A and B are shown apart, each in its own frame.
Chain A
Amino acid sequence: MEKEKIITSQNVHLYYGEKEALKGIDLDFPKNGIHALIGPSGCGKSTYLRCLNRMNDLIDNVKITGAIKLDDEDIYSPKMDTVELRKRVGMVFQQPNPFPFSIYENVVYGLRIAGVKDKNLLDERVETSLKQAAVWDDVKDDLHKSALALSGGQQQRVCIARVLAVKPEVILLDEPTSALDPVSSNKVEEMLLTLKNEYTCIIVTHNMQQASRISDTTSFFLNGNLIETGPTKQIFVNPTKKETDDYLSGRFG
């Protein structure tokens, strides 16, 4: 049975000035689960990821054509409110980027912007989000201490809690564990596995083992093209394209 699609993209081209960074990407994501985007540096996977919540809008001289839809709504339509979009499609970056406030204020940041003032609701959301992000036990006694005092792995999980607090539908993760040690990376991976039943996680990773361990589907990008996409167990055991086999086996990249 065909699973319900949450994001669809058709013929997405992206130009940085003259340079064509994405050369017509057709890629759909089923609702929920973990979807990995892999490929060598400069292949366009992060650029594509940033298209999904219009992060590329912030860069000058970028032109995007084609259609990206979230639940059948064109996210590049003039009617689309980017604040609302980014609430529905949250993002976690490579470097943990907590704001220089307390852990509590970091997590409720999005809710405060949205005008939520109910203290009980804020408290409840802080606890739930930090628990979902598997960092509650680490920080529950220090919620009003600065988030900057936490370790890198804890900071990253607080940043994930900050995304979860606004109840997004999709979470974009751009190499979320590449700055973390193996133990912290493992915690983030375990956490993503618990989130995948309720959220659609799209993760860019250079760590092939990470992609194969946790993702349900994998898409391989090369030179701005989508070479192959499919169930992770098929891509890693029996890819249909030679380029995919060569990249996964470390023959280039």
Chain B
Amino acid sequence: MQRHIDTQIQALRQEFITMGLEVKASLEKAIQAVKEDDQVAAKEVIEHDEIINGHEIHLEKKTAQIIALQSPVAGDLRETISILKASSDLERLADHAVSIAKSVLLLKEEYRDEQIDAMIGQMGNNVLEMLSSILKAYTEVDDKLAVQIAAKDTGNDELYLKIRERTLSLIKSKPKFISEGIDYLQIANHLERSGDYITNIAEWIVYTKKGKITELGRNDL
């Protein structure tokens, strides 16, 4: 039996995925901008944020309406709450993409370090891969996949520590590197936080499926 609430939740799901794909595109572009020192792309990421914020606000309105008018319970309720919560995680992810783009505008070409660039590239790929898979896990309400994705966040935390170590040693030997060093650290930090938000989304997938509020891969720095 097709219920009225089914069509409404279906519309929420679709908008959530659309928003997820937009966030992924922003993050991808921001990471690409870091790699290629692409200032134009960085500015585009910053401008695009408004559209993503608009999706979050719209999803908040729609979920509030469903809760007030349709009184969802059980599975419907869990899915509605998960979309509400996970959409703010997506919005935060997009904010990190914006912050990375802003750092690109500050980083100076002449002080770049190949090793750090490589590690940031690796971290960026890992985060993007996690984000693509989490959108898949969300669509299929696959809690097992969600748990696997969250486990990948450890890789980001390890890379972050390595980047930090390398940056600090460069700053010590080359005091002029300090400003770039801070930008690099910030980029790495934003990527690390992005991994945490993807882990949050994984937790909401588990909640939708199992009704359990869990803490996945808590190894925050």
B78 interfacial by beta-carbon distance below 8 Å = yes
How many residues does chain B have at the interface if contact means C-beta atoms less than 8 Å apart?
Answer: 12
Q: Taking A237-B211, A238-B211 as contacts, is the C-beta distance between A248 and B73 under 8 angstroms?
A: yes
Q: Which of A209, A237, A251 contacts B78 (CB 8 A)?
A: A237
Contacts of A236 in B (CB 8 A): 73-74, 77
A216 interfacial by beta-carbon distance below 8 Å: no
* A216-240 interface code vs B (CB 8 A; 1 in, 0 out): 0000000000000000000011110
Q: Is the CB of A209 within 8 A of B71?
A: yes
A245/B77 in contact, CB under 8 A: no
Nearest CB in chain B: distance from A123 CB, A: 44
Q: How far is the CB of A206 from chain B (nearest CB, A)?
A: 14
Whether A249 pairs with B75 at a CB distance below 8 angstroms is: yes
* Chain A residues whose C-beta falls within 8 Å of the C-beta of B3 in the assembled complex: 249-251
The answer to whether B73 touches A249, judged by C-beta atoms less than 8 angstroms apart, is yes
- Within the complex, the shortest CB–CB distance from B75 to chain A, in Å, comes to 5
Bitwise, B1-42 to A at CB < 8 A (1) or not (0) is: 101010000000000000000000000000000000000000
Q: Is B217 in the interface zone, CB < 8 Å from A?
A: no
A residues in contact with B74, CB < 8 Å: 236-239, 244-245, 248-249
Q: Which residue of B lies closest to A240 (CB)?
A: B211
Instruction: Return chain A residues, CB-CB under 8 Å to B72.
Output: 249
B77 near A237: Cβ-Cβ < 8 Å: yes
- Bound complex: CA A46 to CA B64 (Å): 35
Give A248 to B74 CA distance when docked, in angstroms. 7
Nearest-neighbour CB distance to chain B for A89, whole angstroms, equals 30
Interface SS, A side: helix
Q: Are B73 and A208 in contact (CB under 8 A)?
A: yes
CB distance from B52 to the nearest CB of A (A): 30
Q: B142 near A: Cβ within 8 Å?
A: no
B82 to chain A, nearest CB (A): 12
Determine whether B113 belongs to the interface, using a CB cutoff of 8 Å to chain A.
no
Please, which residues of chain A bring their CB within 8 A of the CB of B1? 251-252
- Residue-wise interface mask of B (70-87) relative to A, using a CB-CB cutoff of 8 A (1 in contact, 0 not): 011111111000000000
Asked if A212 lies at the interface with its beta carbon under 8 angstroms from chain B, I say yes
User: Would you call A238 and B78 a contact (CB within 8 A)?
Assistant: yes
CA distance A239 to B75 in the complex (A): 8
- Measured CA separation A208–B73 after assembly (Å): 10
B76 / chain A contacts, CB cutoff of 8 Å? 249
Expressed in whole angstroms, the Cα–Cα distance for A98 and B109 within the complex equals 89
Q: Closest chain B residue to A245 by CB distance?
A: B74
Q: How far is the CB of A182 from chain B (nearest CB, A)?
A: 15
Q: How far is the CB of B207 from chain A (nearest CB, A)?
A: 9
Nearest-Cβ distance from residue B56 to partner chain A, whole angstroms: 24
For A234, give the chain B residue with the smallest CB separation.
Answer: B211
Which of chain A's residues have a CB closer than 8 A to the CB of B211? 237-238
Assembly CA distance A251 to B75 (angstroms): 12
Bound-state CA distance A238–B209 (Å) is 10
**Assembled-state Cα–Cα distance A244/B77 (Å):** 14
Q: Which residue of B lies closest to A250 (CB)?
A: B3
In the docked arrangement, what's the CA distance between A245 and B210, Å? 13
> A45–B3 Cα gap in the complex (Å)?
25
**A contact residues around B77 at 8 Å (CB):** 236-237
Tell me how far the C-beta of B143 lies from the nearest C-beta in chain A, rounded to whole angstroms: 14
Task: Report the nearest B residue to A235, measured CB to CB.
Answer: B74
Q: How far is the CA of A244 from the CA of B75 in the complex (A)?
A: 10
What A residues does B5 contact at CB under 8 A? 249-250
CB distance from B112 to the nearest CB of A (A): 51
Q: Who on chain A is nearest to B3 by CB?
A: A250
On B, residues with C-beta under 8 Å from A are: 1, 3, 5, 71-78, 211
Q: List 12 A-B contacts (CB under 8 A).
A: A236-B74, A237-B73, A237-B77, A237-B78, A238-B211, A244-B74, A245-B74, A248-B74, A249-B5, A250-B3, A250-B5, A252-B1
**5 cross-chain pairs, A with B, having the tightest CB-CB distances, nearest first:** A238-B211, A245-B74, A248-B73, A236-B73, A248-B74
Q: What residues of chain A have their CB less than 8 Å away from a CB belonging to chain B?
A: 208-209, 212, 236-239, 244-245, 248-252
13 extra interchain contacts, Cβ-Cβ under 8 A, other than A236-B73, A238-B74? A209-B71, A212-B73, A236-B77, A237-B77, A237-B78, A238-B211, A239-B74, A249-B5, A249-B74, A250-B3, A250-B5, A251-B1, A252-B1
